[in-house]
A and B are shown apart, each in its own frame.
Chain A
Amino acid sequence: MFPRDEGPHDNRLEWWYYSGDLRDEEGGEYGFHFVVFQSRDSGDSSESGDREPPVYAAQFGLTDVGSNEHVQAARFTTGEQPQDGPGLTGLKIADWSLAANPERHVFDAGADDVRLSLSMTPTKPPALHNETGWLAAPTTGWTYYYSRPRMAAEGTLVLDGRRLTVSGDVWMDHQWGEFFVLGNPAGWQWFGVQLDDGTDLMVTQTRNVDGDIDSLYGSLINPDGSLKPLGQAGPESRDLELLTTGSWISPHTGADYPSGWTIRLPADGIQLNLSPVVADQEIISARPESAIYWEGKVSVTGTRNGNPVRGSGYVELTGYVVPPSLPWRDAGAAR
Chain B
Amino acid sequence: MLYSFGLKIYRKRWAVLAAWAMLLLVALPLATKATDALKPGGFSNNSLPAAQARAVFRDQLDLSPISFELIFRSERYGAYEAEFTRDLQDALAPIGARPEVARITTHLDDPARVSPDGRTVHVTVGLNLDLEDAADFLDTARSLISPEGLELTFTGGPSLYADISLSSERDVRRAELLAFPLSTIALLLVFGTLVAAFLPATVGGVGVVLALAAVALISRGVDMSVFVLNIVTLLGIGLGIDYSLYFTSRFREQLAAGDTVEQAVARSQATAGQAILFSGVTSLIGLASLTAFEFMMLRSVGIGAVIVITVAVLAALTLMPAVLGILGHRINALQVMPSFLGRSDRDLWGSLSRWVMARPLQVAVPTVLFLLLLAAPLRGIRLGTVDATILPPELESRRGFDILRDEFGLLTKTQIPVAYTFGDADDRDPLSAGNLDRLYAFGRALEGLDGVTRVRSIVNVSPELDAGMYATLYRVPEAVTDTAMQTLLRDTVREGAVLFVVESDVEPFGPEASGLVSGIRAFDPGPGRELFVDGGSAEIKDVVDSLYSRFPFVAAVVIIATYMSLLILFRSVILPIKAIILNVMSILASYGALVFVFQEGHFSGLLNFEPLGVIEATTPILLFSIIFGLSMDYEIFLLARISEAYKRTGDNTASVAEGLRRSGRIITGAAAILIVVASSFLVADVVLVKAIGLGLAIAIFVDVTIVRALLAPAIMRLLGPLNWWMPRWLDRILPRIDVAP
Residues of A within 8 A of B (CB): 12-13, 39, 41-53, 55, 75-79, 93-95, 139-141, 178, 180-186, 209-210, 287-288, 290-291, 319, 323-329, 331-332, 335
Q: How far is the CB of A74 from chain B (nearest CB, A)?
A: 9
B476 close to A12 (CB less than 8 A): no
A181 close to B111 (CB less than 8 A): no
Q: Does B448 contact A (CB under 8 A)?
A: yes
A55 close to B452 (CB less than 8 A): no
Q: Does B528 contact A (CB under 8 A)?
A: no
Q: Does B460 contact A (CB under 8 A)?
A: yes
Could you say which of B111, B453, B494 has the most chain A C-beta atoms within 10 Å of its C-beta? Answer: B111
Among B108, B463, B477, the residue within 8 A (CB) of A326 is B477
Q: Does B472 contact A (CB under 8 A)?
A: yes
Give every chain A residue within 8 A of B79 (Cβ-Cβ): 77
Give every chain B residue within 8 A of A52 (Cβ-Cβ): 111-112
Nearest residue (CB) in B for A289 is: B478
A209 close to B454 (CB less than 8 A): no
Interface mask (B413-450 → A, CB under 8 Å = 1, otherwise 0):
00000000000000001000000000000011001100
Interface pick from B165-173, B312-320, B480-488, B537-545: B480-488
A46 close to B480 (CB less than 8 A): no
Could you say which of B112, B469, B481, B486 has the most chain A C-beta atoms within 10 Å of its C-beta? Answer: B481
B454 close to A43 (CB less than 8 A): yes
B454 close to A48 (CB less than 8 A): yes
Give every chain B residue within 8 A of A328 (Cβ-Cβ): 62, 490, 493-495
**Bound form: Cα–Cα A140–B482 in Å:** 13
A290 close to B80 (CB less than 8 A): no
Give every chain A residue within 8 A of B111 (Cβ-Cβ): 52, 55, 76, 78
A79 close to B118 (CB less than 8 A): yes
Q: How far is the CB of A95 from chain B (nearest CB, A)?
A: 7
Nearest residue (CB) in B for A43 is: B454
**CB-defined A-B contacts under 8 Å, sample of 10:** A39-B483, A39-B484, A44-B443, A44-B461, A46-B447, A79-B118, A209-B475, A288-B481, A323-B478, A327-B490
Among A48, A209, A335, the residue within 8 A (CB) of B453 is A48
Q: Which 10 A-B residue pairings sit nearest by Cβ, starting from the closest?
A: A42-B462, A332-B495, A45-B463, A291-B481, A46-B447, A76-B80, A50-B454, A183-B479, A48-B453, A78-B111
Among A46, A94, A186, A331, the residue within 8 A (CB) of B452 is A46
Nearest residue (CB) in A for B451 is: A47
Nearest residue (CB) in A for B503 is: A50
Nearest residue (CB) in B for A322 is: B478
**Bound form: Cα–Cα A30–B396 in Å:** 52
Q: Does B114 contact A (CB under 8 A)?
A: yes
Majority-rule SS of A interface residues = loop
Q: Does B177 contact A (CB under 8 A)?
A: no
B447 close to A45 (CB less than 8 A): yes
Give every chain A residue within 8 A of B477 (Cβ-Cβ): 326, 329
A290 close to B478 (CB less than 8 A): yes
A45 close to B486 (CB less than 8 A): no
**Bound form: Cα–Cα A185–B78 in Å:** 35
**Bound form: Cα–Cα A332–B60 in Å:** 12
Give every chain A residue within 8 A of B473 (Cβ-Cβ): 139-140, 180, 182, 209
Q: How far is the CB of B452 from chain A (nearest CB, A)?
A: 5
Interface size class of B (residues with CB under 8 A): 35 or more
Q: How far is the CB of B316 from chain A (nearest CB, A)?
A: 61
**Bound form: Cα–Cα A329–B454 in Å:** 27
Give every chain A residue within 8 A of B489 (Cβ-Cβ): 326
Q: How far is the CB of A24 from chain B (nearest CB, A)?
A: 27
Among B112, B447, B480, B483, the residue within 8 A (CB) of A44 is B447
A41 close to B484 (CB less than 8 A): yes
Q: How far is the CB of B408 from chain A (nearest CB, A)?
A: 11
A75 close to B463 (CB less than 8 A): no
Give every chain A residue within 8 A of B114 (Cβ-Cβ): 77-79
Give every chain B residue within 8 A of A209 (Cβ-Cβ): 472-473, 475-476, 479
Among B80, B444, B472, B479, the residue within 8 A (CB) of A77 is B80
Q: Does B116 contact A (CB under 8 A)?
A: yes
B484 close to A288 (CB less than 8 A): no
Give every chain B residue within 8 A of A184 (Cβ-Cβ): 476, 479
**Bound form: Cα–Cα A44–B458 in Å:** 11
With known contacts A78-B112, A79-B116, A46–B476 Cβ distance under 8 A: no
With known contacts A50-B453, A209-B475, A328-B495, A94–B81 Cβ distance under 8 A: yes
Q: Does B75 contact A (CB under 8 A)?
A: no
Q: How far is the CB of B414 from chain A (nearest CB, A)?
A: 12
Q: How far is the CB of B483 from chain A (nearest CB, A)?
A: 6
Give every chain B residue within 8 A of A51 (Cβ-Cβ): 454
Q: How far is the CB of A161 from chain B (nearest CB, A)?
A: 19
Q: Does B186 contact A (CB under 8 A)?
A: no
**Bound form: Cα–Cα A93–B481 in Å:** 20
Q: How far is the CB of B353 from chain A (nearest CB, A)?
A: 61
With known contacts A49-B454, A328-B493, A328-B495, A94–B78 Cβ distance under 8 A: yes
A325 close to B462 (CB less than 8 A): no
With known contacts A12-B462, A46-B448, A79-B116, A290–B469 Cβ distance under 8 A: no
Nearest residue (CB) in B for A179 is: B464
Q: Does B356 contact A (CB under 8 A)?
A: no
Give every chain A residue within 8 A of B495 (Cβ-Cβ): 328-329, 331-332, 335
Q: Does B626 contact A (CB under 8 A)?
A: no
**Bound form: Cα–Cα A99–B267 in Å:** 96
